């Protein structure tokens, strides 16, 4: 188990180092940051003053290691546009993004698990094909389009749910549904394949021979083993949701980390962009490691893999 943990930790550190490097370099490739900060009407003297004030006149290697050293201590610098510490901005916006991600994952699991079980039980029937068609539609549907449709129908025409803001739990229902649609296809297909494999196993035939009820066989025995890969993909999907919530937060005017990144990209506020990319990447890496550990606990064979 210790060797398994060490291997996963080494991989996580390598991925984190790659993300840190890319986040730093991509902001520099977007153009001269000093000109962006100074503005289009700034003189050359103004640009040089900005470059010296923000340390942009130093070599890139020095700037990189300086940023990495401060970021390791939780210091992401000062926002150029918001005139506030970047760490404070992210801390203020993170609860909205995390809440949205958890709501989306909960909806995805509530929908995908029953669909996957039904499709497996009714394998190669019209019901199975219908479930796979629903999963295919969900995967192909653009999230921003679905968000606009829900806003018009549930928000404007029917008035059931608010279309923007974060004042109550109701504000997270529509964006949570939209976010869940990106995860439902993968979770449904994985549940279906896992259940089909489990239902064909010897221990299921033994359970049937003992006279156990259908519900007990499906939920207690088959689903328990079929859920092992679902655990991993659920954690990965949560990471995708947190990192990919920028579109949903923009559509529904949810002022989370994704919306903060969108604002910062438009304002050339590169300290915020770098920090958001790094924080979301670290969260994603952590969730992936957690999924690996949970899988190792559920299936001891993975520890020696």
Look at residue 1 in the predicted model and tell me its pLDDT: 62
Look at residue 286 in the predicted model and tell me its pLDDT: 82
The model's pLDDT over 113-142, given as tens digits with 9 standing for 90+, comes to 888 888 888 888 888 888 888 888 877 788
Residue 288 near residue 239, CB atoms below 8 Å: yes
Helices of type H across 30-59: 33-38, 44-53
Look at residue 300 in the predicted model and tell me its pLDDT: 60
**Fold entry, domain 94-270:** MetI-like fold (1.10.3720)
How far is residue 67's CA from residue 277's CA, in Å, rounded to a whole number? 14
Residue 68 near residue 20, CB atoms below 8 Å: yes
How far is residue 136's CA from residue 142's CA, in Å, rounded to a whole number? 12
**Burial grade of 49 (CB within 10 A; 0-12, 13-18, 19 or more):** middle
Report residues of the chain scoring pLDDT below 70. Answer: 1-2, 4, 28-33, 35-41, 295-305
Beta bridge partners of 85: 78
Residue in the structure block whose two tokens are 């919306």: 259
pTM for the model stands at 0.78
User: What's the CA dihedral at 59, 61, 63, 69 to 10 degrees?
Assistant: -150
How far is residue 226's CA from residue 203's CA, in Å, rounded to a whole number? 13
How far is residue 244's CA from residue 241's CA, in Å, rounded to a whole number? 5
Of the candidates 186, 173, 196, which has an alpha carbon nearest to the alpha carbon of residue 117? 196
Three-class DSSP category at 171: helix
Three-class DSSP category at 200: coil
Structure tokens at 80: 């150029």
Of the candidates 79, 42, 31, which has an alpha carbon nearest to the alpha carbon of residue 272? 79
CB atoms within 10 A of CB 3: 9
Helix axes 184-199, 126-140, angle to 10 degrees: 150
Residue in the structure block whose two tokens are 């629903």: 134
């Amino acid at each position: 188990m210790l060797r398994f943990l060490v291997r996963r930790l080494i991989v996580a550190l390598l991925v984190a180092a790659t993300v840190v490097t890319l986040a730093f370099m991509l902001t520099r490739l977007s153009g001269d940051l000093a000109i962006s900060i100074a503005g289009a009407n700034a003189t050359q003297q103004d640009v040089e003053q900005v470059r010296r004030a923000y340390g942009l006149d130093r070599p890139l290697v020095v700037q990189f290691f300086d940023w990495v050293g401060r970021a390791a201590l939780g210091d992401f610098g000062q926002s150029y546009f918001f005139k506030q510490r970047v760490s404070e901005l992210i801390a203020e916006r993170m609860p909205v993004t995390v809440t949205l991600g958890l709501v989306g994952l909960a909806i995805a699991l509530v929908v995908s698990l029953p669909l996957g079980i039904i499709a497996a039980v009714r394998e190669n029937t019209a019901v199975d094909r219908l479930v796979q068609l629903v999963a295919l539609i969900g995967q192909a549907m653009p999230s921003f389009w679905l968000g606009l449709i829900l806003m018009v129908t549930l928000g404007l025409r029917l008035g059931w749910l608010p279309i923007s803001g974060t004042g109550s739990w109701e504000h997270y229902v529509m964006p949570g549904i939209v976010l869940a649609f990106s995860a439902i296809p993968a979770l449904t297909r994985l549940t279906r394949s896992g259940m089909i494999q489990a239902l064909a196993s010897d221990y299921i035939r033994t359970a049937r021979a003992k006279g156990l009820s259908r519900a007990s066989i499906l939920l207690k025995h088959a689903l328990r083993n079929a859920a092992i890969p679902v655990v991993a993909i659920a954690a990965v999907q949560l990471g995708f949701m947190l990192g990919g919530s920028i579109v949903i937060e923009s559509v529904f005017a949810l002022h989370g980390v994704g919306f903060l990144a969108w604002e910062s990209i438009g304002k050339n506020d590169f300290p915020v962009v770098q920090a958001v990319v790094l924080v979301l990447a670290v969260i994603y890496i952590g969730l992936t490691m957690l999924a690996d550990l949970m899988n190792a606990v559920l299936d001891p064979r993975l520890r020696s893999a």
